[in-house]
Structure 1
Amino acid sequence: MERKKITTIKEIAKVLNVSTSTVSRALNGHPGISPVTTDRVCKVAREQDYIPNRAAISFSKRRSYTLGLIVPEFSEPFFCSAFTAIENIASTHNYNIMIGQSYDDMETEIKIVKKFMNHRIDGLIISIAKKGSDYQQLSALEKLNIPVVFFDCVSDRTDIHFVASNLQAGLLKGIHELVAAGHHKIALINGPAALSASRQRLVAYVKGLKEHGIELKSDFIVATDLSREGNLSALNKLIELNDPPTAVVVFNDYVFLDCFGVLNSKGLKDLFQFISFGNLPDWGLFEHRPFGSIEQFPAEQGSIAANILIQLMNEMSVEEQAPVRCFQKYVDSDIIFFRDSAKVD
Structure 2
Amino acid sequence: MQSKPTTIKEIAKILNLSPSSVSRGLHDHPSIGAVTREKIKQLAKSLNYEPNNAAILFQKGKTYTIGVILPELTENFFSTAISAIEDEVLKKNYTVIFAQSHDDFDKEVRLVDKMKNQRVDGLLVSISKDTSNFDHFEKLKAFNIPVVFFDRIPPFKNVHYVACSLENATIKAVNFLLKKGHRTIGMINGPTTLFASGERKDGYMQAINFNRLKFDPTLVINCDLTEEATIDAANQLINHRRKPSAIVAFNDYIALFLIRYLKKLKIADEIDVVSYANLPIMDYLDYSPIASVEQYPYLQGQKAANILMDLINSPQLENQAFYNTIVESDLIINESKSD
Matched, 1:256 2:255: yes
User: Which residue of the partner structure matches residue 270 of structure 1?
Assistant: 269
Structure 1 contact 181–341 (Cα < 8 Å) conserved: no
**Matches of 1:81 and 1:341, distance apart in 2:** 26
- Alpha-carbon deviation of 1:178? 1.6
**Matches of 1:151 and 1:144, distance apart in 2:** 21
Query: What SS is found at the alignment partner of 1:282?
Result: helix
User: Which residue of the partner structure matches residue 91 of structure 1?
Assistant: 90
Residue identity matched to 2:95: N
**Matches of 1:260 and 1:217, distance apart in 2:** 23
Query: What SS is found at the alignment partner of 1:176?
Result: helix
Query: What SS is found at the alignment partner of 2:314?
Result: helix
**Matches of 1:87 and 1:55, distance apart in 2:** 21
Query: What SS is found at the alignment partner of 1:141?
Result: helix
CA distance 1:51–1:257, change in 2 (3 Å): farther
CA distance 1:10–1:331, change in 2 (3 Å): farther
Residue identity matched to 1:24: H
Residue identity matched to 2:265: K
Structure 1 contact 145–322 (Cα < 8 Å) conserved: no
Greater Cα offset, 187-196 or 147-156? 187-196
Sequence identity percentage: 35
**Matches of 1:54 and 1:165, distance apart in 2:** 39
Matched, 1:178 2:174: no
User: Which residue of the partner structure matches residue 165 of structure 1?
Assistant: 164
- Alpha-carbon deviation of 1:172? 2.5
**Matches of 2:27 and 2:132, distance apart in 1:** 44
**Matches of 1:297 and 1:205, distance apart in 2:** 21
Query: What SS is found at the alignment partner of 2:109?
Result: helix
Matched, 1:131 2:130: yes
Structure 1 contact 122–147 (Cα < 8 Å) conserved: yes
Query: What SS is found at the alignment partner of 2:183?
Result: coil
User: Which residue of the partner structure matches residue 217 of structure 1?
Assistant: 216
The within-5 A match list for 1:272-291 is 272-291=271-290
CA distance 1:85–1:341, change in 2 (3 Å): closer
Q: Deviations over 1:277-297 (max 9, x none)?
A: 111122223221101111111
Structure 1 contact 291–337 (Cα < 8 Å) conserved: yes
**Matches of 1:19 and 1:111, distance apart in 2:** 41
**Matches of 2:82 and 2:132, distance apart in 1:** 21
Q: Out of 316, 335, 339, which is 1:339 matched to?
A: 335
Q: Deviations over 1:49-89 (max 9, x none)?
A: 99764313312211111111000010101110011111111
Structure 2 contact 184–242 (Cα < 8 Å) conserved: no
Q: Out of 21, 42, 52, which is 2:24 matched to?
A: 21
**Matches of 2:48 and 2:164, distance apart in 1:** 46
Structure 2 contact 69–101 (Cα < 8 Å) conserved: yes
Structure 2 contact 71–103 (Cα < 8 Å) conserved: yes
Query: What SS is found at the alignment partner of 2:327?
Result: strand
Matched, 1:329 2:325: yes
Query: What SS is found at the alignment partner of 1:339?
Result: coil
**Matches of 2:159 and 2:48, distance apart in 1:** 44
Residue identity matched to 1:21: R
Structure 2 contact 8–22 (Cα < 8 Å) conserved: no
Query: What SS is found at the alignment partner of 1:303?
Result: helix
Greater Cα offset, 178-187 or 48-57? 48-57
**Matches of 2:280 and 2:82, distance apart in 1:** 15
Structure 2 contact 122–308 (Cα < 8 Å) conserved: yes
CA distance 1:297–1:87, change in 2 (3 Å): same
Residue identity matched to 1:156: P
The unaligned stretches of length 5 or more in structure 2 are 11-20, 31-37
Query: What SS is found at the alignment partner of 1:81?
Result: helix
For these two proteins, the number of residue pairs brought into alignment is 328
- Alpha-carbon deviation of 1:6? 7.6
Q: Deviations over 1:87-145 (max 9, x none)?
A: 11111111111111001110110111111111111111000001125411111111211
CA distance 1:243–1:20, change in 2 (3 Å): closer
Q: CA RMSD in A?
A: 3.2
**Matches of 2:236 and 2:164, distance apart in 1:** 29
User: Which residue of the partner structure matches residue 74 of structure 1?
Assistant: 73
Matched, 1:201 2:200: yes
Structure 1 contact 109–133 (Cα < 8 Å) conserved: no
TM-score norm. by structure 1 comes to: 0.84
TM-score norm. by structure 2 comes to: 0.85
The within-5 A match list for 1:116-127 is 116-127=115-126
User: Which residue of the partner structure matches residue 15 of structure 2?
Assistant: none
The unaligned stretches of length 5 or more in structure 1 are 12-17, 27-31, 33-39
Query: What SS is found at the alignment partner of 1:158?
Result: coil
**Matches of 1:335 and 1:220, distance apart in 2:** 22
Greater Cα offset, 250-259 or 205-214? 205-214
Query: What SS is found at the alignment partner of 1:111?
Result: helix
